[in-house]
Amino acid sequence: MRILTVLTYYRPHTSGLTIYVERLARTLAKRGHQVTVLTSQYDKNLPREEMVDGVRVLRAPVVLRVSKGVIMPTFGYLVWKLALENDVIHLHLPQFDAAGVALRGRLLGKPTVITYHCDLKLPPGIFNRFVNQVVHVMNHIAAIFTHKISAYTEDFATHSPYLSRFAEKVRVILPPVELPKASQSDIDAFGVEHNSESRRPVIGMATRFASEKGVEVLLDALPKVLDQYPNAMVLYAGQYEDVMGEEAYLQRLLPTIQRYQADGRWKFLGNLNLAQMSAFYPNLDVLVVPSLNSTETFGLVQIEAMMNGVPCVASNLPGVRQPPKMTGMGEVVPIGDADALAEALLKIFANPEGYQGDLDEINKTFDPQTNAQAYEKLYKELMEELS
């Protein structure tokens, strides 16, 4: 099959959405399909076209940014051209341009699929509220024209106002998760480099530094944890500087973080590559996902941690609470509740043996091959229906 994948940001931009799409596109290419990704040239240093892991990546030039969105004058032309050349159109939302792409798929009789990754909730402000509404309308129109919509979990699909409105089109497909296996020497070296004092326990967080991620919830939970475990520390993996639209959020929390940095209780690691992430997780005692709203719908990092035997504490958000519930490897806490987060961490530290899961089953369930096969089945069903 020839598969056109469309999304606003693609790799090397780092987010759960871009990682998901990269894994799916790469796996489909390995399975013999022709995969083209149409995305934005959000960084002018990125090539307009390249082949990456067997996937053709086309980037439309950006002339203007609108909040976290982009304006691409040639995007419409490229969509028409590529829609004609491909058998299937696969959109990844939220995306401002989704409605036009889905309409083209409908007009051309091409099977069109949406993967709905999360809700869009921009930082406070009158303009951002307007942008939110525009994108919501575009996503709604896209759902009308598309043939099927995939969601990570039944939990999120049921609770999402967007997905529940189009319930008859929804197909649940678990996300793809994979990491290379780190050697013990690499794990040990990572620990020496980033935790030279051998502090324990180690709390991990792996995400962009953004207001919806709930970093302040972890900061507010730390005093109670440190009362019982004064040698504890936080390793924070992910971009924390120059995150689009989040500069004020960093500045607000930075004074507190710097106090913890001063005595070695907090360390920023920046963006880590896959090999580094593989060494990061085994150096943790727990991973936290204290997200605050439905811009987080699962938390792929939870499964990555669990594949390395590391339990997680997640917010009680639809979808986000599913990894601990599915595997038994963690705790679920009320959204934004720092005291509950602290209690969950202390509970895990006191009884780590009680949070061990079936790692082989976790790897099998979230194997990218399993995810790609589910999409192949969906594509073929739609092609037969429309033939």
Please name which of 386, 383, 385 lies closest in space to residue 33, comparing C-alpha atoms: 383
What secondary structure letter does DSSP report for 7?
-
Residues 359 and 346 both lie in one domain: yes
**Token pair belonging to 235:** 């390793």
Residues 153 and 206 both lie in one domain: no
Residues 247 and 336 both lie in one domain: yes
For 57, the domain range is 2-176+367-386
**Token pair belonging to 244:** 């689009």
The whole-angstrom separation of Cα 272 and Cα 181 is 15
Over the stretch 2-33, which tens digit does the pLDDT of each residue have? 999 999 999 998 888 999 999 999 999 999 99
**Token pair belonging to 112:** 């069109």
Instruction: Give me the torsion for CA of 134, 140, 144, 147, rounded to 10°.
Output: 110
- From 20-34, 133-147, 173-187, 219-233, the region with the lowest mean pLDDT: 133-147
CA angle 338/340/345 to nearest 5° reads 95
Mean pLDDT taken over the chain: 94
Residue 127 confidence (pLDDT) above 80: no
The number of CA neighbours under 13 Å toward the Cβ of 173 is: 27
Q: Which residues contact 155 (CB under 8 A, 6 or more apart)?
A: 318, 319, 321, 322
Please name which of 54, 139, 155, 56 lies closest in space to residue 92, comparing C-alpha atoms: 139
The CATH number for 58's domain is 3.40.50.2000
Residue with tokens 């990269």: 22
Domains of the chain: total: 2
**Token pair belonging to 22:** 């990269």
Residue 125 confidence (pLDDT) above 90: no
Please name which of 166, 154, 116, 162 lies closest in space to residue 16, comparing C-alpha atoms: 116
Residues 243 and 382 both lie in one domain: no
Model confidence at 133, pLDDT cuts 50, 70, 90, reads: confident
Residues 251 and 347 both lie in one domain: yes
Residues 308 and 381 both lie in one domain: no
List C-alpha distances in Å: 238 to 65, 88, 153, 208, 241.
23, 33, 25, 5, 9
Residues 142 and 189 both lie in one domain: no
Model confidence at 244, pLDDT cuts 50, 70, 90, reads: confident
Residues 14 and 157 both lie in one domain: yes
Instruction: Quote the percentage of the chain above a pLDDT of 90.
Output: 86
Average pLDDT rounded to a whole number, residues 276-290 = 98
Residues 194 and 293 both lie in one domain: yes
How much is the pLDDT for 121?
66
DSSP states of 14-64 as a string? -SHHHHHHHHHHHHHHHTT-EEEEEEEE-STTS-SEEEETTEEEEEEE--E
The whole-angstrom separation of Cα 145 and Cα 269 is 43
Residues 162 and 146 both lie in one domain: yes
Residues 149 and 231 both lie in one domain: no
